[in-house]
Amino acid sequence: MHDSLYFDEQHLAVRETVRAFARDEVAPVAAKFDALAEFPWQNIKRMGELGFLGVPWPEELGGAGLDILSYVMVIHELAKADASHGLTVSAHTTLGTSPIVNFGTREQRERYVPLLASGRVMGGFGLTEESAGSDAAGTRTRAIRKGDRYVINGSKRFITHAGVGEVFVITAVTDPSKGTHGISSFILTKHNEEIEKARPWGIGHDDSLPAMPGFSTGRKEDKLGWRASDTRELIMVDVEVPVEQRLGEEGAGFVNFMKTLDAGRIGIGALSLGIAEGAFEQALRYSTVRKQFGQAISEFQGVQFQLSDMATEIEAGRHLVYHAAWLAQRGEPYGKAAAMAKLFCSELAMRTTIKAIQVHGGYGYTKEYPVERMMRDAKICEIGEGTSEVQRMVIARHLLKELAG
């Protein structure tokens, strides 16, 4: 893809900054944080300083004031070195912060967004439950209005940043008789479970955020990939939430999180693309240094064909991701493009990382090279923020709607 198709000089400057950070500060530690399954607080601090944790938000709310293409580029470039770092940006920005920016009152925006955009505290989004996975309308978490507050009971599964975060947007049923129109969203706050680990970097907690009684974190998931990303349960037992903490109108929660997920798909598309490109670059380089039968394996047509297929598909993925971001930036409908980008690139990341291991032979199957981590990181991209099957459902819905006019 020619840079000038979507990028101006500012985009290219952002790309240089992210590439330098990814090369110098992410790639060298990615294997360590993966092995330890630890959240990389030091790099979170750096990403906050570099503006990566609030790329598209206005400067008056503490953001970097850049556009959606820049935001997507940050995720894409980080994921080439480490998917967990890319996910941290994506989950924190699109899932954790964007609902407050997009659907919050002025007071809510001014209170929470500067803390999130600067990386002072981490944010997350609690939608998934045991009964509500692909069928997000299956939410059982209940919010009952009592005077000037709601009392919330329920639990959320697989929530990114559940342990390390302090600000969460969660969904709960306010009126069971209204189906999806009876789901609302709320801003809840709690304390970071890793305050001690974050303290040396001066981030991870803000005294102005109360730990709401009854709002807590469950067990940490031991995952195949995205191991440097924090995934845990969120538990709510009689959490008293003031009415001012409701996000948007009562009953607007479902429609709002559908919009949030549309945008999130571009981010996961970019993340997947980054994984695929990172693995391809490793394979390409390796093929020129590994010698068998007296020559570099890159001289063999069988290896060349694999490299050519990877490069061609990655090029197609770039167009899908940046086209979806470009539509979103222009305020045009982008739901179908975002689902296509997410579907294609997540499956591309899986195909490419498997091929990259093949090019590395037995060495690719060991932790001596990063391609095995990349393969583990790729799999969840076909599941999180809507499985591949859900993306196909979304795309088909658009196709049939277009046909009906």
Catalytic residue among 59, 385, 389, 402: 385
Query: According to the binding rule CB under 6 A, does residue 116 interact with ligand FAD?
Result: no
Stretch that binds ligand FAD, among 13-21, 115-123, 126-134, 279-287 (CB under 6 A): 126-134
Q: Which two tokens stand for residue 79?
A: 């994921």
Q: What is the DSSP string of 332-367?
A: ---HHHHHHHHHHHHHHHHHHHHHHHHHHGGGGGST
Smallest CA-to-CA distance from 53 within 26, 87, 80, 29 is with: 87
Query: According to the binding rule CB under 6 A, does residue 134 interact with ligand FAD?
Result: yes
Q: Which two tokens stand for residue 196?
A: 């001690």
Helix, coil or strand: residue 371: helix
Measured between alpha carbons, how far is 35 from 31 in angstroms, rounded to an integer? 6
Query: According to the binding rule CB under 6 A, does residue 125 interact with ligand FAD?
Result: yes
385 is catalytic: yes
**Region 324-383 residues binding ligand FAD, contact defined as CB under 6 A:** 380, 383
Stretch that binds ligand FAD, among 185-193, 234-242, 300-308, 386-394 (CB under 6 A): 386-394
The binder of ligand FAD chosen from 30, 53, 55, 95 (CB under 6 A): 95
Q: Which two tokens stand for residue 289?
A: 């240094």
Query: According to the binding rule CB under 6 A, does residue 263 interact with ligand FAD?
Result: no
**Region 142-161 residues binding ligand FAD, contact defined as CB under 6 A:** 158-160
The binder of ligand FAD chosen from 56, 124, 154, 274 (CB under 6 A): 124
Minimum CB–partner distance for residue 372 and ligand FAD (Å)? 18
Minimum CB–partner distance for residue 13 and ligand FAD (Å)? 30
* Site string (226-255) toward ligand FAD, x via CB under 6 A: x----x------------------------
* Choice between 19 and 398, CB closer to ligand FAD: 398
Query: According to the binding rule CB under 6 A, does residue 133 interact with ligand FAD?
Result: yes
* Choice between 220 and 290, CB closer to ligand FAD: 220
Residue nearest to ligand FAD (CB): 133
Measured between alpha carbons, how far is 301 from 179 in angstroms, rounded to an integer? 57
Minimum CB–partner distance for residue 400 and ligand FAD (Å)? 15
Residue type, 354: I
The binder of ligand FAD chosen from 16, 49, 249, 389 (CB under 6 A): 389
* Choice between 364 and 386, CB closer to ligand FAD: 386
H-type alpha helices, 54-178: 68-81, 83-90, 98-103, 106-117
Inter-residue contact 144 to 228 (CB < 8 Å): no
Minimum CB–partner distance for residue 156 and ligand FAD (Å)? 6
Query: According to the binding rule CB under 6 A, does residue 91 interact with ligand FAD?
Result: yes
Measured between alpha carbons, how far is 34 from 223 in angstroms, rounded to an integer? 10
Query: According to the binding rule CB under 6 A, does residue 33 interact with ligand FAD?
Result: no
Instruction: Output the CA–CA distances (angstroms, integers) from residue 304 to 23, 182, 277, 285, 295, in the order listed.
Output: 26, 55, 16, 12, 13
Instruction: Output the CA–CA distances (angstroms, integers) from residue 38 to 34, 137, 278, 340, in the order listed.
Output: 7, 32, 21, 32
- List phi, psi (to 5°) of 253: -60, -40
| Catalytic positions | 385
